[in-house]
Amino acid sequence: MVDQYDLWLVCVPGIGPRKITSIISACGNARECFFLKEEALRYIPVLREDDVQRIIESRRTWEMEKQWERLMKSGVCVVRKGEKGYPKKLYHITDPPHLLFYRGRLPADDQRAVAMVGARECTDYGREMAKKIARTLAAAGMTVISGMARGIDSASHMGAIEGGGETYALLGCGPDICYPGSAKRLYETLVSRYGVLSEYAPGTPPEKGFFPARNRLISALSDAVLVIEARARSGSLITADFALEQGRDVYALPGRITDALSHGTNQLIRQGASPIVSIEVLLEDLKLRESVQGRGDVTPVISLGETERRVYEALEILPAGMEDLLEKTALSIPELMAALDILMKKQLAKEGFPGAYRRCY
C-alpha cells in the first residue's frame, strides 16, 4: 500500500523519478529514507549534496498528516510502482514514476493503445483528421492516449469517445486540476468514463517543465505515437523523441510543405517516421485492418441535390472564402448560400469563421 512517506518522497522538490528509483533501491522504501541519517543519505548514488539538503529541508517542513489527509479527501486514487494495477508498460522506460495518481480508471495492460499528439493552435485539417483517425482507431478497439490540451489533443479524445473506444489523458498537473480550464466538459467525461492520469500529486499546479515529462508517459503508455500536426521545434516532437527512445513506432500525418503546422510532421517523416497516407493503411500497419472491415464510411454525398453536391465538392478541409466558392461552383450568391445552408444542416459543412466554409467529415 502507498503510505504517507511515499507521498512525501514524490513531493520533495528537485527529486525526480530517476533519483527516487535510486533512493528506493538503496533504502527499500520511502519510510526508511525519511528516517535515514544525513550521512547515510550522502551514500545514495546519484544524489548530490543539494539533493540531500533538499530532502533534509523537506523532512523538517513537510506536514505529513495534513498532506495525506488532503490526498485521501481529493478523491484521487494512487498506485505505486510494483503494486498490482501499475501499468506494466511503464516498466519499460528508464524513469517510471514512483507513484501514479489518477481519477477514473487506469488503462488495462493487455489493451493496445496509440498516443495522439499535436499542436494546440492547429488547423481545421489537423483537427478533423485527428478526430477522424481517433474515431476509426477507437472503433477498431484501440485505446487513445493524449494530453487533453486544446487542438489536436482534445480532438483526439473527442474522436475516440465518438468512436466508442477508450481514451486516457495524462496531465502536466495534479489529476484533480482541469488544465486547460476550457476543457472542463471533456475532463468530466474522461474522469467519469475513462481516466485522467498524472505523476504529480493532487493540487500540483501546471508548470512549464512538467509537460515534457508528461509527454514521456504519453508515449510510454502507448504502442505507437501519431503526430498529427506540429510546427518545427514543438512539444509534440519531444513526445516523438521519447517514443523513439522507448522503442515505439512513430507515425506522422504529412501535410503541404508550405504549411507551418506541417513542418514538424514532415520533418519526422524525413527522419524515418511512417507517414499516415490513409486511415486504411494506418489500420493495416497497426494490424487492426481485419477488425474494421465492413465498417467503411458511408459517403454522405448520395442524399444531396445537384447544387449542394457541386458546393460540397468545392469545399475543402481548410476553410474557403465565399468568393472562392462562387468562382468554383459558378453559382449565384443566393444559390450558394442556400446550398451551404443545407450542407450545414446536414453537418457536411461548417462555417469556421464568418464567410469561410469548410467540409466536415
Check: CB of residue 313 under 8 Å from CB of residue 339: no
Q: Does 196 bind another protein (CB under 8 A)?
A: no
Among 48, 88, 92, 185, binds another protein (CB under 8 A): 185
Q: Does 124 bind another protein (CB under 8 A)?
A: yes
151 binds another protein (CB under 8 A): yes
Rounded to a whole number of angstroms, the minimum distance from the CB of residue 261 to another protein is 6
Give yes or no for residue 157 binding another protein (CB under 8 A).
yes
Q: Of residues 221-260, which lie at the interface with another protein (CB under 8 A)?
A: 258-260
Beta-carbon contacts of residue 316 (< 8 Å; ≥ 6 apart) = 358, 359
Q: Between residues 249 and 259, which has the closer beta carbon with respect to another protein?
A: 259
Q: Is 183 in the site for another protein (CB under 8 A)?
A: yes
Among 35, 43, 91, 353, binds another protein (CB under 8 A): 353
Peptide bond into 180 cis (omega under 30): yes
Can you tell me which of 340, 343, 348, 349 binds another protein, judged by CB under 8 A? Answer: 340
Cα dihedral 76/80/83/89 (nearest 10): 100
Least distance (Å) from another protein to the CB of residue 337?
A: 4
**101 or 125: CB nearest another protein:** 125
Which position among 184, 193, 233, 270 is part of the footprint of another protein (CB under 8 A)? 184
Under the binding rule (CB under 8 A), the answer on residue 192 touching another protein is no
Q: Which residues ranging from 127 to 146 are in contact with another protein (CB under 8 A)?
A: 127
Contact 120, 228 (CB under 8 A): no
Candidates 9, 117, 122, 348; binder of another protein (CB under 8 A) is 122
Indicate whether 306 belongs to the interface with another protein (CB under 8 A).
Answer: no
By CB under 8 A, tell whether 352 contacts another protein.
Answer: yes
The smaller minimum CB distance to another protein, of residues 42 and 233, is found at 233
The torsion of the CA quartet 153, 354, 298, 121, rounded to 10 degrees, works out to -10
Cell of 211: 509537460
Name residue, grid cell 526508511: 32
| Pair 266, 273: CB distance under 8 Å | no
- 132, 144 Cβ separation under 8 angstroms: no
**DSSP states of 207-272 as a string?**
-TTHHHHHHHHHHHT-SEEEE----SS-HHHHHHHHHHHTT-EEEE----TT-HHHHHHHHHHHTT
Taking alpha carbons only, the member of 137, 79, 133 closest to residue 109 is: 79
Give the rounded distance of the alpha carbon of 288 from its chain centre: 21
Which listed range, 37-45, 83-91, 201-209, 318-326, lies at the site for another protein (CB under 8 A)?
Answer: 318-326
Which of 138, 186, 201, 224: binder of another protein (CB under 8 A)? 186
The distance in angstroms from the start CA to the end CA of the chain is 48
Angle CA(110)–CA(113)–CA(118) in degrees, nearest 5?
165
Q: Report if residue 26 touches another protein, rule: CB under 8 A.
A: no
327 binds another protein (CB under 8 A): yes
Question: Is residue 322 close enough to count as binding another protein by CB under 8 A?
Answer: yes
Specify the amino acid at residue 205: P
| Min CB(350)–another protein separation in Å | 7
324 binds another protein (CB under 8 A): yes
List residues near another protein by CB under 8 A. 120-124, 127, 150-151, 154-155, 157-158, 182-186, 258-261, 319, 321-324, 326-327, 333-334, 337-338, 340-341, 345, 350-356
